[in-house]
Amino acid sequence: MRQIFPVTGQELEVVPRAGVGGPLPQPIRQLAALYGNEAGTTTAAGRPWLRANMISSADGASALSGRSGGLGGPADRMVFTVLRSLADVILVGAGTVRAEHYGPVAPGGVWAGLRTGKPLTPPIAVVSNSLDLDECPRLLDSSPPTIMITTDSAPQDRVAALDGRARVIRAGHDQVDVGQAVTALADLGYRQIVAEGGPHLLGQLADAGLVDELCLTISPVLAGGTVGRVVASSDEKAAATPLRLAHVLADNGFLMTRYVRSAD
Ligand SMILES: NC(=O)c1ccc[n+]([C@@H]2O[C@H](COP(=O)([O-])OP(=O)(O)OC[C@H]3O[C@@H](n4cnc5c(N)ncnc54)[C@H](OP(=O)(O)O)[C@@H]3O)[C@@H](O)[C@H]2O)c1
């Protein structure tokens, strides 16, 4: 993998799998330095830093055959594990959790050397009204517990079934208010949020002006079809967040970009 913007000529050997313990491989140190937060652990507004990590095909599709996994590659997975390693919490929509059969973050899925001062793994926080986790039972009874961010109108039987098996937070009446959800995560002490989608959740976060950073991998594939973009927003104007290009890495036709919210 090569850094192609800013032009430094920096080469990073691809290390696709995370490893538990031991010294951090040099390429992982390099990558963690590249993705270190410019704004520290909070934004100027005092709320947590929210970094979205997404992948699209070259023609803008957010999934292949209903999942994002088919778009990925080794370098993208290396970035994914480093971003998870740097996170306090992973925020994700229930649609993605179901489509991608999410489980808790495994210790072998992060770099322990990047988690100094943090728990071994970050929890998954799922935004859901239905609380339907039937397709991803591994999210229950996990350590740290999965956080279910839901509403006052969530089905009571589903709420009851989560008792002692996940942490339930209410952040809205009929729909989760994503601003309230981020505040609730901040109240739990989380300062670095990595949002892994999906497009509908990301659209709401963008509309609310809560996306501080977009790490977008562009996959060398023309997907065609009618799959939507990585941000699905109902209001184009509200979603327009000016971004500054922080860096671009290239590997085997994949482009790993990092954009940070511009002050302008
Ligand atoms: N390219 C990428 O990087 C990437 C990343 C992630 C996902 N994906 C793909 O995107 C697709 C899934 O994304 P998606 O946009 O359809 O779904 P999503 O945003 O992941 O999840 C939508 C679901 O989240 C819950 N939700 C979202 N906002 C809510 C709110 N304000 N209040 C209450 N609940 C809320 C609802 O769950 P309930 O139905 O449980 O109430 C809703 O049905 C999959 O194909 C996945 O593979 C791609």
pTM above 0.85, yes or no: yes
Q: Is the CB of 54 under 6 A from ligand 1?
A: yes
Report the alpha-carbon distance of residue 243 to residue 231 in Å, rounded: 14
Task: Per-residue pLDDT tens, the chain, 264 aa: give them.
Answer: 999 999 998 999 998 787 767 789 999 999 999 998 655 567 877 899 999 999 999 999 999 988 888 899 999 999 999 999 999 999 999 999 999 999 999 999 999 999 999 999 999 999 999 999 999 999 999 999 999 999 999 999 999 999 999 999 999 999 999 999 999 999 999 999 999 999 999 999 999 999 999 999 999 999 999 999 999 987 666 658 899 999 999 999 999 999 999 976
Task: Choose the residue to mutate in 129, 131, 159 for probing ligand 1, maximizing ligand atoms within 8 Å of C-beta.
Answer: 129
Report the alpha-carbon distance of residue 67 to residue 141 in Å, rounded: 25
Report the alpha-carbon distance of residue 162 to residue 126 in Å, rounded: 13
Pairing of strands 243-251, 147-150: unpaired
DSSP single-letter state for residue 104: P
Burial class (CB in 10 A: 0-12, 13-18, 19+), 148: buried
Burial class (CB in 10 A: 0-12, 13-18, 19+), 248: middle
| Domain range annotation of the chain | 2-8+46-261
Record: fold of 2-8+46-261: Dihydrofolate Reductase, subunit A (3.40.430)
